[in-house]
Structure 1
């Protein structure tokens, strides 16, 4: 894995943005690729050239590159073939006209040259493994098979692992699949912006933000200490693995369980763990994950984990017990299906090299096997009276004032509400004031708001009059 958080490029005195450096460095590499194409075609058609093979076309020195694209090349130390494959895959997005030369028809067959191997997709020409084999002159089957082997062992190559190799069917040879750079790397190598996928069937998770600060977390000291430990891992875990030599001694990634009653701050804490460390948080949409068809739930989960691999993202599963509850010994088809989902997630979160947070309102509903996988189990309890008073005092707008009969200290002691419930009451009473064109918060509105949150007639009768 190439780490973009270390070994920063020493920028020259010329102040350019990363986008401008990408354009500059890619222009150089594209010119190199064009030269390779011209040399290979001249050799193939017996045209005059000073080269006896494309390997003589010297690749530009990456040490002079100053872009995110250049940084990747420097750290990945790509081979000639890998670098050429990467540039070919970038061409449809950055300079598609370079590949037009492969559209020439064979006069004998009145069709494009089969050996060029390009594929047309959505009106755009894409290089393939066949194109790469042609360009580097793979006349012998052994040379061709070596390229095919690299494609099949995609994850082991610093270049080929960046490619999205998807055919129309599983039967399509990898040599014939269009070379396309994965979206996250295309963003990095062009506009130099973080790739943030939208919620979709192909990526059933959405990015969530709180809009708050770490200091806004109003939680017990013990809970905050555990959250600080998780934050420490997110910020410094790579140093522990790389600099301190723990890479082979501990499991990849980090797993945490947040449990406690609704409204106690589990989602907000997950969001702020990301926002305070520069990590995006993606909340997995269970409605898009679950499927009644056998194997589809695991496939949908794999879409999320595969996309999040090797990124500084936090995956957040809210109400995780709804999907990953306790396994049973029943032999019914439904129970076996559920057990299969749990077993898959257990295996997947243990292998995932990022941060996974599972949240549950009821800890005991989760399968016991999960607890052996968690590095942290964090309990979010209801705020005590002092914390509730702080929430009441800080929640109202500066534009409003409280009716003289309102005693926030009494309210905080009398009603054990969660932080979310208190904020719901404040929002309710403030909206009442705005609708009535006044700035004073009324006691009767606070009373009504609390009744709504409690949602229980028996407890409603116990509310104090103030």
Structure 2
């Protein structure tokens, strides 16, 4: 850690410690001195490079910024809150007005909404209500994805919930970067990347034309909304459906759109996100959308019909909760400000009520013979040669294969050549591995 970064952390924590100490001193000495904080010190912390980059384009009041520091304290100085309480209550004892709670593993004091109210409002009820407003779900701290107030059991005061800071805020302040999330049981989305280019993708001309419309949105959406003022009339975000047989380029197209625009693409397999347990599907989806909300990610939902399939009448509790899952997903998709792509093998599997909400529906058909010939020629590496009797045009006309099938075949052929210390592909080798691909799917070549 550089000297500058040490100062940045020490300065922010020293400021918070002084603010807390001032409030506690004011309270325990019964307003012997007015509560205050040094605005010049606050400004110096806010304008430090790390905070300035974190909050660029985000509008926070001084009070909201102090609440952010309060939520960060346990992550950087675990003894800060408990040390100050011990200073004023050396013999221990309860101090309900201060709030705070314990964690499962964390042994210090975790600040709550009540801690925030005491810090900036003391016992002034009007001021405490104002601080509660800063912690509302529609407040800047929450909507900007910086921190939120943890839920509490029914019947308990909402402000007794913990102040939960976004883990990415902590990571950014600590390391100066935010790592890309990995697929896990807690985050059911997989990052997609490729070294291929648009030249490697062979698509139907009609599909290509439709994709150009989507690319126009990616390129000009911000200009349309904010420079041309259309944000007053249309919602942010774009929703597209990719449909067609497996192996026709839906996933690769989504990945290339991200590569082309510099946006991360995350694939969510809805057939795996859906849970048989009530409420779990919504939780799984919420984690993904909450993570993506301020990232400008492209979200690619595979097997979309797992949730957005045709609905039937409510006959039992299962139908009721299935419809709730659909409603939740639709609501999150429609409020997501970026690009959402849903993919399915059959468009007819998707509920028509949902397709009306889409901006575009793009069909990925099986490749024609001409397109299959291009796929064959593009698939092999430059190190491989061919016998003069290899006829890609005939192969393309004779065998009904998708791009994914052809890549599978080429991979097996290349491995066979390497094992035999060969570099030349014969018609017999091609036919052998085409037959294996057909047999894998229960077909005859």
TM-score by length of 2: 0.87
Query: Aligned residue for 1:89?
Result: 71
Higher alpha-carbon deviation: 231-240 or 67-76: 67-76
**Equivalences for 1:181-200 in 2 at 5 Å?**
181-200=165-184
1:85 CA displacement: 0.3
Structure 2 CA distance for partners of 1:173 and 1:446, relative to 1, 3 Å: farther
Query: Aligned residue for 2:216?
Result: 232
Query: Aligned residue for 2:20?
Result: 37
1:109 CA displacement: 5.8
- Determine helix, strand or coil for the equivalent of 2:186: coil
1:361 CA displacement: 0.8
Higher alpha-carbon deviation: 416-425 or 274-283: 274-283
Per-residue Cα deviation, 1:132-161 (whole angstroms, up to 9, x for no partner)? 22322421233223323432x233224685
Q: Distance in 1 between matches of 2:187 and 2:407?
A: 32
1:143 aligns with 2:142: no
**Equivalences for 1:312-351 in 2 at 5 Å?**
312-329=296-313, 331=315, 333-351=317-335
1:231 CA displacement: 2.7
Structure 2 CA distance for partners of 1:101 and 1:277, relative to 1, 3 Å: same
CA RMSD in angstroms comes to: 3.2
Query: Aligned residue for 1:79?
Result: 61
Higher alpha-carbon deviation: 200-209 or 56-65: 56-65
Q: Distance in 2 between matches of 1:194 and 1:40?
A: 34
Unaligned residue ranges in structure 1 (runs of 5+): 1-16
Instruction: Tell me, yes or no, if the aligned pair for 2:64 and 2:134 is still in contact at 8 Å.
Output: no
Instruction: Tell me, yes or no, if the aligned pair for 1:148 and 1:174 is still in contact at 8 Å.
Output: no
Instruction: Tell me, yes or no, if the aligned pair for 2:134 and 2:141 is still in contact at 8 Å.
Output: no
1:353 aligns with 2:337: yes
Structure 2 CA distance for partners of 1:250 and 1:99, relative to 1, 3 Å: same
Match of 1:52 among 6, 20, 34: 34
Q: Distance in 2 between matches of 1:158 and 1:337?
A: 31
Per-residue Cα deviation, 1:279-326 (whole angstroms, up to 9, x for no partner)? 222211335422224444334333332332232112211121233211
Instruction: Tell me, yes or no, if the aligned pair for 1:103 and 1:112 is still in contact at 8 Å.
Output: no
**Equivalences for 1:16-415 in 2 at 5 Å?**
25-46=8-29, 52-55=34-37, 57-61=39-43, 65=47, 67=49, 69-73=51-55, 75-104=57-86, 110-111=92-93, 113-121=95-103, 122-151=106-135, 153-158=136-141, 161-167=145-151, 169-329=153-313, 331=315, 333-415=317-399
Instruction: Tell me, yes or no, if the aligned pair for 1:406 and 1:443 is still in contact at 8 Å.
Output: yes
Aligned length: 442
Query: Aligned residue for 1:4?
Result: none
Q: Distance in 2 between matches of 1:139 and 1:420?
A: 67
Instruction: Tell me, yes or no, if the aligned pair for 1:183 and 1:195 is still in contact at 8 Å.
Output: no
Q: Distance in 1 between matches of 2:258 and 2:5?
A: 27
Match of 1:416 among 375, 384, 400: 400
Instruction: Tell me, yes or no, if the aligned pair for 2:310 and 2:351 is still in contact at 8 Å.
Output: yes
Structure 2 CA distance for partners of 1:139 and 1:281, relative to 1, 3 Å: same
Unaligned residue ranges in structure 2 (runs of 5+): none
Q: Distance in 1 between matches of 2:406 and 2:251?
A: 16
1:364 CA displacement: 1.1
- Determine helix, strand or coil for the equivalent of 2:232: coil
Instruction: Tell me, yes or no, if the aligned pair for 1:105 and 1:112 is still in contact at 8 Å.
Output: no
- Determine helix, strand or coil for the equivalent of 1:60: helix
Instruction: Tell me, yes or no, if the aligned pair for 1:283 and 1:315 is still in contact at 8 Å.
Output: yes
1:366 CA displacement: 0.9
TM-score by length of 1: 0.83
1:442 aligns with 2:426: yes
Structure 2 CA distance for partners of 1:200 and 1:74, relative to 1, 3 Å: closer
1:244 CA displacement: 1.0
